[in-house]
A and B are shown apart, each in its own frame.
Chain A
Amino acid sequence: MCLAIPGKIVELEEKGCMRMGRIDYGGITRDACLEYIADPQIGEYVMVHVGFAISKVDAEEAARTYQYLAEMDQLEEIAVPEPSREIR
């Protein structure tokens, strides 16, 4: 029920008195209400739930945390080096 899907803003428009946008979900596009998003820009990603964008996807934060996970076991090796490798 509380699922929200990340999608890219590809168009901005005013409909009625609401700020709306066309959102692209990997090839499928649908309208979503952007009233709750401050300064939405074409090309930005938003999380959409029941036709409403509820937050912007923070691209820097996503890259930073994913990078952290990717390097996790390498960090482990740096923190606990195997003595035999050190000697060689």
Chain B
Amino acid sequence: MMRVFAAAAAVVCLGAGPAPGGGALDVLLAAKPAETLADYHLFTDDGAQHPNEGVTPYALNTPLFSDYAEKTRFVFLPPGTKAKYRPTGALDLPVGAALIKTFAYPADFRHPTENVRKLETRLLIHRRSGWTAQTYVWNAAQTDAVLKRAGPRIDVSFIDAKGQSRQVDYKVPNSNQCKECHSLSGRIAPIGVKARNLNGAFAYAEGAENQLAHWSRLGLLVGAPTPDKVPRTAAWDDPHAPLADRARAYLDGNCGHCHNPRGMGSNTGLFLDLEEARPNRLGFGKRPVAAGKGSGDLEVDLVPGRPDASIIAYRMASTDPGVMMPELGRSLVHEEGLALVRDFIAKLKTP
């Protein structure tokens, strides 16, 4: 009852009912998640391709690897609200904001815009009581996505960029698993929308522009310095960026959400977020604590010059649930990410 009242109050404060054209704030803020994605009015079409008013597409310099799924991202801000800049961590997004991420596979990655099959659209919604996470799984006709809380599996096959046929036993996360990654001190929190990870160009309909500059210019973001004054997470696959920057960006995006002092992996003492600078915390000379067979008979997380002796690389190369890292979100090895981290370790010097 209290919760319903709080939600109602929030709606009153922020303006009840669907905003003109934009997302349905009352649905976003309701205590119970909507049954279908369409109920939120975040898109103007059934296929969630065309964002409604107030919904802005974005991309990350270095995202999490998710079994090669293509991800499209949007942020919804309620009318009249803005995101606040933070130099570290995710941007401060207002109550009513939603982060929207669709996972999809093209039938053939050599033709990435053709025969694209959407699997699920995940929502992270900022309610007055905090962030909540839900996911909506698409029907075969790709016209409707319905709420799934227990995390089903979906068979997926695709042709990869090299022309090889690939199968994925794709796992939709259950609501708790959303939180296992999206967790800061035990509460759900956004991960990707850090200023540093958004600090790059996006190909908007009206032309390419730096995302932070674009958001600031349109009044979606307040307090941000000009992009050149904001730290920038390297793109993990940018061949022109320094190797160490790319690898640290990759480890931040793929490991740092758990492996940080406030994440699910805090007890390990292995911290791989970009803010971490202590060598032992980064894995240098660090022995495993609770790895079990995850050690792979190796003694140390990170051995400069020796990827084969480094537990981090061993666990990235595994698909055994009791060994693999990350624990959630993949069933395949990310060959290119693994190659990057191995290359990084091979060229590392002892700090």
Q: Does chain A bind chain B?
A: no
Interface of A toward B, CB cutoff 8 Å: none
Interface of B toward A, CB cutoff 8 Å: none
